[in-house]
Amino acid sequence: MYLKMPFFIIIALTFTLSACSGGSNSENVDSGAESSNGSGTDSQATDYPSGNINFLVGAGPGGGTDNFARSLVEQFEEMYDTNVNVTNLEQASGAVANERTANEEPDGHTLNFASSTYIITVAAGQNNTGLDELTPVARMQSDILSITVDPEQFEDFDEFKEFAENNPGELTVGGTHAASPDEMGLLELNEASGLDLDYVPYDGSGEAQADLLGGNIDALLEYPSAMLDYVESGDMQPILFLAEERLDEFSDVPTTTEYGWDVTNGNERGVLVDADTPDEIIKELEEALHTIYESDEYKEYEESNHLHYREGWMGAEEYRQKLEENKEMYEEFLNNK
């Protein structure tokens, strides 16, 4: 008898649970079916969202892309009066997150937060989920890369450049991961400037910083947020920004553009969804993201993370073009590597 009791409870629970979730499930299925038929999309845009929204982050917790996704959660929940679940899928540089986004229902309820690493892995042929399966919604951040050195070793970029020209292949520049925005940035710089700087990949930016501080490497590819405190303490100094214009906070540091090199890619972070998602929903999401991008809360987050130096916003169409251009360029670099 006592065996039957828990059994009964389990069955009862199962029924209640399935009854609760039944409603939202059937809606999801409906919207999926409708979109594939291409009919009734109008009502969908107004119905959106019909359940919880999932943010799939193609990176581990605590990093830049994760912080980006989490900074949007609160406003998204308020805007749509729903729950947002953030899931980190860091495997294979985010390829698993891309794949899962493409396999979910194309109803705009699964958003993939990705960095430039996405298009690099596609270009490298290591990511099977290309731009035919995912479609960009918006780019919201464009983090700026710099060449950062120990000020006791090099005073400015001219000195660095001269040393590099006289000793090709001697100077080592650390960055995070192989086939990453950092490495692509250095390859681009090498190509445009004719310098021969040697890239040394690290597992995390902390280890690379430790090696620069310890004098084991000559320079770092680094983003402003990660180096500011070391600049204040005098341990590090950026000598070149991969940017169009000088940064307000670093008005004495030159840019690649001044040297006549068109090398301005850093790390771009944006949102992608399944390519089969109806246009109305993509439009809706793009507008929602733009509203957040313009909000004071987001501006505050941008500033405290030092992401405000360069305009981050790009709409769906523009972002797609940028990704396609970058893909072509990275393919070339990776083939010549």
User: Which residues lie near another protein (CB under 8 A)?
Assistant: 61-63, 66-67, 87-93, 95-96, 99, 124, 126-128, 169-170, 172, 177-180, 183, 198-204, 206-207, 209-211, 213-217, 225, 228-230, 232-233, 235, 304-305
23 vs 204, beta carbon nearer another protein:
204
Contact 145, 175 (CB under 8 A): no
CA distance readout (Å), 122 to 82, 131, 132, 189, 332? 33, 9, 11, 21, 13
Name which of 23 and 125 has its Cβ closer to another protein: 125
Least separation in angstroms between CB 334 and another protein: 9
Shortest Å distance, C-beta 244 to another protein: 26
Least distance between another protein and beta carbon 224 (Å): 12
Q: Dmax over Cα atoms in the chain, in whole Å?
A: 88
Least distance from another protein to the Cβ atom of residue 42, Å: 35
User: Going by DSSP bridges, is the β-strand pair 134-143/267-274 parallel, antiparallel, or unpaired?
Assistant: antiparallel
Nearer to another protein, 13 or 178 (CB): 178
Which residues does 224 contact at the CB level (< 8 Å), separation at least 6? 143, 144, 146, 238, 247, 249, 250, 306, 309
Nearer to another protein, 194 or 204 (CB): 204
Q: In this complex, which beta carbon is closest to another protein, that of residue 50 or of residue 305?
A: 305
Smallest gap from Cβ 239 to another protein, in A, equals 19
Q: For residues 256 and 192, is the Cβ–Cβ distance under 8 A?
A: yes
Between 142 and 205, CB nearer to another protein:
205
CB of 23 to another protein, least distance (A): 26
DSSP lists the bridge partners of residue 282 as none
Residue 263 region, left (φ>0) first, then alpha (ψ -120 to 50), else beta? beta
